[in-house]
Amino acid sequence: MSSFPIKQGLFNYDVVDHHAILGCPLDATPEEIRKSYLKIAFQLHPDTSKATNEEEQALAAKLFSKFVNPAYEVLSRENDRKEHLLIIQQTVSNLASIGQPSFSSAESQKLQGAKQNLELVYRKVVTPLSKGLYEDFKTVFRKIAQVSEYNLIFLMVKGENASARPVFQTIASSKETVPPVVSGRSPQGPTPTPPINNPPAEELSPFEKSLRRAQENFDRRQYEKAIAELKSALKTDPKNAQAHCLLGMAYLKNNMMTMAKVHIGSAVKLDPNDPKVMAAKKELAKHTSSGSSQEGAKSSQGGFLGGLFGGKKK
């Protein structure tokens, strides 16, 4: 999908704000998302749109096919919607390291100052913009940009209020059935678990098995398979630094710089002193400074940092 012609709100951080495109709040229910999509489809359809000339008709068709339909495809599927919300949340949480933006409009400042009634204020500023989002083609991009700015502020304030907890309950996956492994210790107590290097297969948790398969795929340079495994693993434990680190490197090898920055940035935030995370951070900096991710991806071999599970070196 081509880049959206907006550099405001979440769009300013290389994130396609699907919620803003559909004019619905970030905490919208599936039914609300569906209703927004149907309303926009009516506004952009050749027989019912307010396009007055061929240029506007062409713009309506492009908006619907290039942006509105792809946005609905993501938000109408539960797993894709959760992944999208997680990426947005991680992007906003990383703003602390690069400096948070300032906002000039009265509505944005009011939303930024909301604490106790944040959700109510957020809905009040988003709803009026979403009603006629695509009726006037001269203002459509400005309105989408403003919705995305409100989305960004909502996440920033929500994150400040909730500290390190997930912003959306839909993002936080249950950890009761599959306990995460943190620093080689069991979540039930301080008793050390067996070493992580080459444990017997029957002693691996589902999360560890997924992480190990991802490492094996990474070592074989099958980066897309590694990405799929790691995305699945992070649904079980969204705050695992090792998984974010390896996923960021897989995206980096696949020349997907934005996603690489998001996940390596998350790994740095979660465990900045881990040697693997530090190495990934340096690798990302090398690619960023050189401006050539393809060349950098070829410079190192598949066995990233010797493998998270101490696999054979390549």
Instruction: Say whether 192 sits in a helix, a strand or coil.
Output: strand
Check whether residue 150 and residue 208 sit in a common domain. no
pLDDT at 30 exceeding the cut of 90: yes
Domain range for residue 81? 9-162
Tell me the two tokens of residue 109.
């400042």
- The alpha helices in the chain, defined as continuous H runs, are 18-22, 30-44, 54-62, 69-75, 78-93, 106-112, 118-131, 140-162, 206-219, 223-236, 241-253, 257-270, 275-290, 293-299
How many separate domains does the chain show?
2
Q: Which whole-number Å values give the CA distances from 272 to 3, 60, 245, 266, in the listed order?
A: 32, 46, 11, 9
Question: Which percentage of the chain shows pLDDT scores above 90?
Answer: 27
139-196 tens-digit pLDDT = 999 999 999 999 999 998 887 765 434 444 433 333 333 334 333 343 344 444 444 4
- What phi and psi values does residue 192 have, to the nearest 5 degrees? -65, 145
In a domain, 229, yes or no: yes
Check whether residue 27 and residue 144 sit in a common domain. yes
Mean pLDDT of 270-285: 87
Check whether residue 81 and residue 158 sit in a common domain. yes
Closest CA to 287 of 262, 244, 241, 255: 255
Check whether residue 33 and residue 155 sit in a common domain. yes
Around Cβ 222, how many Cβ atoms within 10 Å?
Answer: 16
Check whether residue 147 and residue 14 sit in a common domain. yes
Mean pLDDT score across all residues of the chain: 78
In a domain, 18, yes or no: yes
